[in-house]
Amino acid sequence: MVISGDEKILIYSALFHDIGKLNYGQNRPHEMSGSDFIEACKFLSSEEREKIKNLIENHHITRSGRKLEEIENNLLRILIEADHLSAGMERVEKREEDIGDRYTQPLISPFSEVRLCKNEKKEFRYPAVIINEKFLNGSLELVSIEKTEAIVNSRIIVKEDYSGKSLKVVYDEITKKLKEELNRTNLDINTLLTILKIYLQFIPSATYKDIPDIPLYDHLKTTAAIALSLYKSKNREKPFLLIGGDLSGIQNFIFSHFRTLESDKKAAKRLRGRSFYVTLLMDAVVRYIQKELELYDFSILWTSGGNFVVLAPNLEENKKKLEQIKEDINSELYRKYGNLYLSISWEEGTSEDIKNFSKFLDRLYEKIEEEKNKKYFSTQEILKNSMIEVPPKEICFICGRNKGFEKEERFICKYCEELENIGDKIRKAKYLVINPDLEADITFDIGISYKLSRNFEKGELVYGINYFSNNLNGFKLCGIYTPGISFGQIVDKEKDIKLRKSLEEGGKPTKLGLLKADVDNLGLIFSLGFENEKITKSISRLTFLSFLFDYFFSTIINKLAEKHNIYILFSGGDDLIAAGRFDEIIQFTKELNNKFSDFVKNTEITISCGIEIGNYKFPIKRFADYATERLKESKKDKNKITLFNNTVSWEQFEEELTIAKELYKMISENKVGTGFLYYLFRLKENCFNNTVSENTKMILNPEPYIRYNVYRNFNCSKEEKNKIINLILKKENENINNFKYINICVSLVSLLNRYKIKYYGI
């Protein structure tokens, strides 16, 4: 979109108005030092640079007593008001005694500020990370740490300076690198926004008098979105239109068309294709909204999983366009796939609504829920116009609804073939080309197309997939890792994944595990988590929180999946679906929880998981349904995991894995027979069943039985016998917790022994 005139001046002024906070000094305030960055912007004309500098240098003019209504320059008035609205809902003043040197104030993690209960607040900070290739591929893993350590790490990461207690050298280096980037002659607004994100996402926007918990990038982005709405809206009382979307039917879309795993050799590929299609769909929708409403990337507050929120000018034509957009998208979704529906709603807002963004957002979410509940009523016309008669023998064997063409002795429709091709390409793709000059891999009816590629032509709109360099327009965070072999191969008992084979190739298949996981109380975290001690649910806090969740469920998940040979079937927002060999999915899940706990460092932000284990030929749709039921069991109490028909805390889960490790080691070394596993299972049944069948007895305390059996049947030292007894009977609060859930240990060891799999390095 070509931009010129006052709109261009206003947008660049908003995006740069506080950038001087990187390098301002005592005798040169940030609104003056910001001019230095504008001088570096060679993509702007000299006249444009002067106008922008004038607005930036005067955006705090009201602090000297000048009233906003007295300012004649309309653009300056809008910039001041947008900055006030953005900063006013974000910033919390420090206590007088806490005011100090801004160079000793790294960015506070938003997870530190989430409070659902009255738990003690513990503060952690982020180093001043530059988002580079190492950050995006997981080589440089983001963690929040203590303040002093965050300063040291910032110096190491940015400047390779290992000493000092100040961030000044870090800010100076970032200033230098950012100015070099701005010196390019071909920067458009959206690419500029990516560059600002790369350098300013982990720089606090306010440090001296205010608590440093808002990234400078998010403050600049929010100010630009507010300014554009104020500038373009004709409704002075309610200038803002908050737009939200929610995609229904994602799991059904991904899994419902797969009947088996092994008999359909391309099932894994199709699962990947359908999963990544959801990512492309949401990207296409927000791009379509941007195009039709004449917005920019900064107006997209967040897009995560199957959800998005956009801030736009409140114009009647925008509402009419949104109605048409909703119809266009859902008509295409129903015609092609039938089980996806995108609810789109909007809510008008005042300046007070921006200040009290939490209530503004809640009103929008209420409308989205209403829209979701009546989606079938609103799509009657779509249904009527989408009925197509297809001869039975020509129906696509995958989706079972579209007319197909003959391929490999079966009929497949063009849409399912398209998804299959995407699943094949995404594993090796490095770039996502938008509206490519050459043939696209997928084209949406709304006029947006995509191509997955390992290279691209100069002049194309290109995003790196978990990758960025200065010749790209941006990057996409995607949880997409796959080992690159079939499900039939992934379950082979061979330790080295490169040597695994399918049954037909002579492999020895074991069991497949399917994991479903999501973050507990995410709705409460977003709606109530910040309503404490003056910390409000501002736009910037939520956009930063959304980015961090996206980072975890893409970069960190990919790295973890690669370590454990796991398929990421879907990862978006806070949801995760993954598959792998049963022992590897269990190890992956254990580390997933530990990584997540360390990432958030807040005991009120937890994750729940459900694991289903079965034959790798079992229909994947039913596999996913069972895993969903396991997750539901975990979600009843939250912060739990369910597997082998037992729901336990994460601490108890790790205890069971510890017992399994030791017990399996003893069985592998012939120190005890497998009959002991059956004995433990029966003993547990008699201990914890409320009813006892005839000719059996209820056992109140299993300890003497276990001690007798171990000392009688284990062929090992007394120390080893006592060790396994103590592990099995470990008591906490006088409850025999370990033995109550011994089925987890027994089931895992039985499977490991059955397939003779090396486990935990044994």
Which of 693, 666, 690, 669 lies closest to 677, judged by CA?
Answer: 666
Residue 518: alpha-carbon gap to chain centroid: 10
Of residues 93 and 66, more confidently modeled = 66
- Residue 646's region, left for phi above 0, alpha for psi from -120 to 50, else beta, is beta
Report helix, strand or coil for 556. Answer: helix
**Residue 224 sits in the same domain as residue 249:** no
Domain that holds residue 115: 5-231
- In a 13 Å sphere around the CA of 357, the CA atoms on its Cβ side amount to 27
What's the confidence (pLDDT) of residue 399? 83
Out of 231, 256, 283, a domain closes at 231
What's the confidence (pLDDT) of residue 209? 64
What's the confidence (pLDDT) of residue 29? 84
What's the confidence (pLDDT) of residue 99? 52
What's the confidence (pLDDT) of residue 694? 59
**Stretch 709-722: mean pLDDT:** 92
**Residue 163 sits in the same domain as residue 29:** yes
**Residue 252 sits in the same domain as residue 210:** no
**Residue 364 sits in the same domain as residue 226:** no
**Stretch 23-47: mean pLDDT:** 87
Report the percent of the chain where pLDDT is more than 90: 64
Cα gap 355→82, rounded to integer Å: 11
**Stretch 231-237: mean pLDDT:** 94
Question: What is the residue-wise DSSP string for 442-499?
Answer: EE-TTS-EEEEES---TTSEEEEES---TTSSEEE-------SS-HHHHTBS-SSGGG
Cα gap 346→156, rounded to integer Å: 45
Out of 186, 207, 231, a domain closes at 231
pLDDT single digits (tens) 92-120: 554 443 456 788 999 999 998 888 776 67
Name the band, by pLDDT with cuts 50, 70 and 90, for residue 256: confident
pLDDT single digits (tens) 466-498: 999 888 999 999 999 999 888 999 999 999 999
Domain for residue 539, yes or no?
A: no
What's the confidence (pLDDT) of residue 387? 52
For the cut 50, the answer to whether the pLDDT of residue 733 exceeds it is no
Name the band, by pLDDT with cuts 50, 70 and 90, for residue 64: confident
671: which residues sit within 8 A by CB, 6+ positions away?
714, 715, 716, 720
Cα gap 210→91, rounded to integer Å: 6
Name the band, by pLDDT with cuts 50, 70 and 90, for residue 703: confident
Domain for residue 620, yes or no?
A: no
Of residues 528 and 144, more confidently modeled = 144
Q: Burial of 308 by CB count in 10 Å (0-12 exposed, 13-18 middle, 19+ buried)?
A: buried
What's the confidence (pLDDT) of residue 408? 78
What's the confidence (pLDDT) of residue 533? 53
pLDDT single digits (tens) 374-385: 765 555 555 555
Label residues 533-546 b or e (16+ Cβ within 10 Å = b).
Answer: eebbbbbbbbbbbb
**Stretch 82-90: mean pLDDT:** 82
What's the confidence (pLDDT) of residue 269? 83
Do 487 and 558 touch, CB atoms closer than 8 A? Answer: no
What's the confidence (pLDDT) of residue 258? 61
Query: What's the CA angle centered on 433, arms 432 and 438, to 5 degrees?
Result: 140
Task: Kindly calculate the radius of gyration of the chain based on its CA atoms and give it in whole angstroms.
Answer: 29
What's the confidence (pLDDT) of residue 129? 93
What's the confidence (pLDDT) of residue 263? 40
Cα gap 22→15, rounded to integer Å: 14
Domain for residue 9, yes or no?
A: yes
For the cut 50, the answer to whether the pLDDT of residue 544 exceeds it is yes
Domain for residue 496, yes or no?
A: no
**Structure tokens given for 222:** 């929010």
Do 694 and 683 touch, CB atoms closer than 8 A? Answer: no
**Structure tokens given for 57:** 């240098």
- Count CB-CB contacts under 10 A for residue 264: 18
Which of 685, 637, 656, 657 lies closest to 520, judged by CA?
Answer: 637
39-43, 46-50, 537-541, 578-582: which range is least confident on average? Answer: 537-541
For the cut 90, the answer to whether the pLDDT of residue 535 exceeds it is no
Which of 590, 652, 578 lies closest to 620, judged by CA?
Answer: 578
What's the confidence (pLDDT) of residue 262? 39
What's the confidence (pLDDT) of residue 690? 57
**Residue 129 sits in the same domain as residue 44:** yes
Which of 332, 281, 361, 392 lies closest to 540, judged by CA?
Answer: 361
Which of 226, 258, 252 lies closest to 239, judged by CA?
Answer: 226
Of residues 574 and 291, more confidently modeled = 291
Of residues 232 and 373, more confidently modeled = 232
Domain for residue 110, yes or no?
A: yes
182: which residues sit within 8 A by CB, 6+ positions away?
37, 40, 41, 42, 43, 192, 195
Cα gap 558→477, rounded to integer Å: 10
Q: Which amino acid, residue 405?
A: F
What is the tally of structural domains in the chain?
3
What's the confidence (pLDDT) of residue 166? 92
CA distances to 44, 157, 303, 481 from 137, in Å: 33, 16, 20, 11
What's the confidence (pLDDT) of residue 97? 39
**Residue 191 sits in the same domain as residue 250:** no
The pLDDT mean for the chain works out to 88
What's the confidence (pLDDT) of residue 695? 60
**Structure tokens given for 702:** 């299993």
Domain for residue 133, yes or no?
A: yes
722: which residues sit within 8 A by CB, 6+ positions away?
none
**Residue 672 sits in the same domain as residue 762:** yes
**Residue 367 sits in the same domain as residue 222:** no
Q: What strand order describes the sheet that includes 474-476? A: 442-443, 449-453, 431-434, 461-465, 474-476
Domain for residue 269, yes or no?
A: yes
Name the band, by pLDDT with cuts 50, 70 and 90, for residue 31: confident
Name the band, by pLDDT with cuts 50, 70 and 90, for residue 536: low
pLDDT single digits (tens) 610-624: 999 999 888 888 889
Query: What's the CA angle centered on 548, arms 655 and 557, to 5 degrees?
Result: 50
What's the confidence (pLDDT) of residue 98? 46
**Stretch 225-238: mean pLDDT:** 95
pLDDT single digits (tens) 358-373: 889 999 999 999 988 8
**Residue 262 sits in the same domain as residue 335:** yes
**Residue 281 sits in the same domain as residue 207:** no
**Structure tokens given for 230:** 């104020």
**Residue 184 sits in the same domain as residue 269:** no
**Residue 429 sits in the same domain as residue 333:** yes
**Stretch 434-447: mean pLDDT:** 92
**Stretch 700-725: mean pLDDT:** 90
**Structure tokens given for 514:** 């399917």
**Stretch 533-561: mean pLDDT:** 88
For the cut 50, the answer to whether the pLDDT of residue 260 exceeds it is no
Only one residue has tokens 């937890």, namely 606
Out of 423, 451, 476, a domain closes at 476
Report the percent of the chain where pLDDT is more than 70: 90
For the cut 70, the answer to whether the pLDDT of residue 180 exceeds it is yes
What's the confidence (pLDDT) of residue 731? 56
Domain for residue 46, yes or no?
A: yes
What's the confidence (pLDDT) of residue 676? 93
